[in-house]
């Protein structure tokens, strides 16, 4: 596809459940990023991949959050034991190294 | 950590009026990037400023980086309804991937 693809676009889950959010980056982009955006706020950095490895995961809020990118392309953000405070739009972005970020449309996560 | 403050939070203008949003930091910024997010959309990269005092133009948009690299501004001349959206500045912190975003300025334009 032409842009970063994120699925699902919306996810409603109950408190305590496990969720997975998927990101399909632009073909050929080696760098992949996850950000989180709460209502009325700017995006907040979560994690950055260069290739398959997490180069910087310092933005993950706690150990309930984990992300993988096993083959250096698609990435999955995993959230265990979801809490209501996890509700936000989760944005994925990709880029060539050192180039500007291209964001996807995000997954809107609602924890009830 | 680095904090980036943006003002105003909201701005409503009549079509044809000018608009400016400001980005400020108490510490020296590395590089400033500007993004536009349409309602219901995702952030779209507009420009990056790197050098002290830098000024860049994109049609009706003018971006400035302060001499001390502690502030930046985005000015839109003669706004149009297509300019509606939230404008964010973001500091790269020298990394180019770990962006610290401001809270954004929501621009609405009355036709």
In this complex, the residue of A42, A56, A105 whose CB is nearest that of residue B102 is A42
């964001």: which residue's tokens? A103
* Percentage of chain B exceeding pLDDT 90: 90
Helix or strand or coil: residue A111? strand
Q: At residue A1, does pLDDT exceed 90?
A: no
In this complex, the residue of B42, B88, B99 whose CB is nearest that of residue A45 is B99
Instruction: Kindly report the average pLDDT of chain A as a whole number.
Output: 95
Nearest residue in A to B34, CA atom: A100
pLDDT (tens digit per residue) in A29-41: 999 999 999 999 9
Which sign, positive or negative, has the C-alpha torsion A80, A86, A88, A94? negative
Contact A57, A47 (CB under 8 A): yes
Confidence of residue B97 (pLDDT cuts 50, 70, 90): confident
Q: CB neighbours of A96 closer than 8 A, spacing ≥ 6?
A: A28, A29, A30, A31
Instruction: Kindly report the average pLDDT of chain B as a whole number.
Output: 95
Predicted pLDDT at B28:
93
Confidence of residue A54 (pLDDT cuts 50, 70, 90): confident
Q: Give the HSE-up count for residue A68: Cα atoms under 13 Å, Cβ half-sphere.
A: 5
pLDDT (tens digit per residue) in A92-112: 999 998 899 999 999 999 999
Predicted pLDDT at A45:
96
Predicted pLDDT at B2:
66
Phi, psi torsion values for B89, nearest 5 degrees: -105, 155
Cα dihedral A42→B102→A100→A32 (10° resolution):
-40
User: Which residues from chain A sit within 8 angstroms of residue B33, using beta carbons?
Assistant: 100
Q: What are the tokens at B18?
A: 């000018």
Return d(Cα A9, Cα A77) in angstroms, integer.
14
Does the CB of A106 have a partner CB in chain B at under 8 Å? yes
Return d(Cα A13, Cα A79) in angstroms, integer.
11
């Amino acid at each position: 596809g032409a842009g970063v693809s994120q699925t699902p676009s919306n996810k409603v889950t109950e408190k305590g459940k496990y969720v997975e959010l998927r990101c399909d980056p632009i073909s050929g982009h080696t760098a992949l990023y996850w950000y989180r955006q709460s209502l009325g706020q700017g995006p907040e950095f979560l994690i950055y991949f260069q290739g398959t490895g997490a180069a910087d995961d310092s933005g993950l809020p706690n150990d309930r959050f984990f992300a993988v990118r096993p083959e250096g392309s698609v990435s999955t953000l995993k959230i265990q034991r979801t809490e209501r405070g996890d509700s936000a739009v989760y944005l994925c972005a990709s880029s060539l190294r050192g180039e500007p970020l291209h964001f996807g449309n995000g997954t809107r996560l609602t924890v009830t | 950590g680095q904090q980036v403050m943006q003002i105003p939070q909201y701005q409503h203008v009549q079509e044809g009026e000018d608009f400016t949003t400001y980005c400020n930091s108490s510490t020296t910024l590395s590089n400033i990037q500007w993004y536009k997010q349409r309602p219901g959309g995702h952030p779209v990269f507009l420009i990056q400023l790197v050098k002290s005092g830098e000024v860049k133009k994109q049609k009706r948009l003018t971006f400035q980086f302060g001499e001390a690299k502690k502030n930046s501004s985005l000015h839109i001349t003669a706004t149009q309804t297509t300019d509606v959206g939230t404008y964010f500045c973001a500091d790269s912190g020298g990394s180019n991937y770990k962006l610290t975003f401001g809270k954004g300025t929501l621009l609405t334009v009355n036709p």
